[in-house]
Amino acid sequence: MIRIDSVTKRYPDGTVAVDRLSLEIPDRSITVLVGPSGCGKTTTLRMINRMVEPTEGAILLDGADVRQQPVNTLRRSMGYVIQNAGLFQHRTILDNIATVPRLLGWDKRRARARAAELMERVGLDSALAKRYPYQLSGGQQQRVGVARALAADPPVLLMDEPFSAVDPVVRKGLQDELLRIQGELGKTIVFVTHDIDEAIKLGTMVAVLRTGGRLAQYAPPAELLSAPADPFVEDFLGADRGIRRLSFFTSAGLELTSEPVVDVDATAEQIAAAAAAGTPYLLVTDRDGRPLGWSEPGELTAGAVDPDRLLSPGRPFEQGRDSLRAALDGAVLSPTGWAVAVDGTGKVSGVVSQAAVGEAIRAAHAEDRTDAKVAG
């Protein structure tokens, strides 16, 4: 465990970048430092691997002050990833990744074999091994940066805005990849970002810092969203905090109905039976049960369903795996106000109305409050 113990950093020009900060960073989880520009996130991160020395206080790694071991030994035991990756332009991708193993004295062949292994782990095509950094896209370079940090299998990974220089689609891919890698490797990751959505998505624990380097709140993301400590945190979380909080509620408990669902080959009787359920629209699926679209019961003629004339089914959610947020999103986006639920294979498992999603949200909130009372 990394313990930041009442640490203050005052730069020579008098700037107080971090002010009596105390944090306990749990092992094998992602701890995110988030806050506005200049609030001391980078300074805090860099004090962990002693790129910056604290003015007061101490940082403990498994109980021992980080200043007790030689600085380069300490750094080699912590992967370090920065914005724009900071790759060595004169070295091939493979040799970039092999850097720390080489520093640790591994022979070239072993270090390269390890680097090749890591390329695969972070999802880089092995054909890129012999290329130079300038021949890679920003997203690929960032993957190399992560692979390089992981190469010597350090228990700790320090990441300073690693994904902030790539476009949102690539960023989402990198975030998912990081969560996957973390699931496999279980590193202790300290992750700096100024993007609250990224913090909430990645963090097991999130530390919100305010300008002047003071801790505003340190909590798991769900708690941050449900109970911001003060107006600063609330403001920082943004306007749609309520919606985002739904990401933490499962859609498993939603009551689906499959009554208004028919397939393209449905007979007149089947259509009539579905219409009898009383919903204004019926959902039509293909022969494999995948959603095609919505239609008013009166518009459907048995044996002559034209998929092109159906209303879009919106974005289906996977019940159990997706959150209430995805279910609500599906309902809001659907032209009929009904969300489509699918199973893992993409087959329709039922539909649910906006009203029913709303009911589930209220129930989840109520349960959350009871939990909080029990816990508190």
Partner 1 sequence: MNVLHFVNAFFGDGSHWHGYDGIPARLAEHLRYSLIALALAAAIGLPVGLLTGHYGRGGNTLALIATAGRALPSFGLLVLMFILLGFGLVPVMIPLVVLAVPPILVTTYEAVRSVDPAPVDAARGMGMAESRVLFRVELPVALPLILSGLRSAAIQIVSTATIAAYVSLGGLGRYIVDGLYQRDYEKVVGGATLVAVLALATLALFWAVARWAVSPGVRRSG
In the list Mg ion, partner 1, ligand ATP, none, the entry touching 15 (Cβ below 5 to 8 angstroms by class) is: ligand ATP
Binding residue count for partner 1, defined by CB under 8 A: 31
Are 355 and 327 in contact, with CB atoms under 8 Å apart? Answer: no
Q: Which H helix or E strand runs over 237? A: helix 231-237
Q: How far is the CB of 281 from Mg ion (least distance, A)?
A: 50
If one asks whether residue 201 binds ligand ATP (CB under 6 A), the answer comes out as: no
In the list Mg ion, ligand ATP, partner 1, none, the entry touching 236 (Cβ below 5 to 8 angstroms by class) is: none
> Could you give the CA distance from residue 263 to residue 319 in angstroms, rounded to a whole number?
20
- Single out the residue of 3, 10, 20, 91 in contact with partner 1 (rule: CB under 8 A): 91
> Could you give the CA distance from residue 141 to residue 145 in angstroms, rounded to a whole number?
6
If one asks whether residue 17 binds ligand ATP (CB under 6 A), the answer comes out as: yes
Contact string 115-154 vs partner 1 (x = CB under 8 A):
-----------------xxx----------x--xx-----
- Single out the residue of 16, 60, 74, 113 in contact with partner 1 (rule: CB under 8 A): 74
If one asks whether residue 360 binds ligand ATP (CB under 6 A), the answer comes out as: no
Are 214 and 19 in contact, with CB atoms under 8 Å apart? Answer: yes
Alpha carbon separation from 8 to 43, 46, 167, 207 (Å, rounded): 10, 13, 34, 16
In the list Mg ion, partner 1, ligand ATP, none, the entry touching 38 (Cβ below 5 to 8 angstroms by class) is: ligand ATP
If one asks whether residue 190 binds ligand ATP (CB under 6 A), the answer comes out as: no
Specify the residue, 55 or 83, whose C-beta has the smaller distance to partner 1. 83
> Could you give the CA distance from residue 328 to residue 319 in angstroms, rounded to a whole number?
12
CB neighbours (10 Å) of residue 247?
Answer: 17
Tell me which residues touch partner 1 (CB under 8 A): 46, 49, 51, 71-76, 80, 82-92, 99-100, 103, 132-134, 145, 148-149, 158
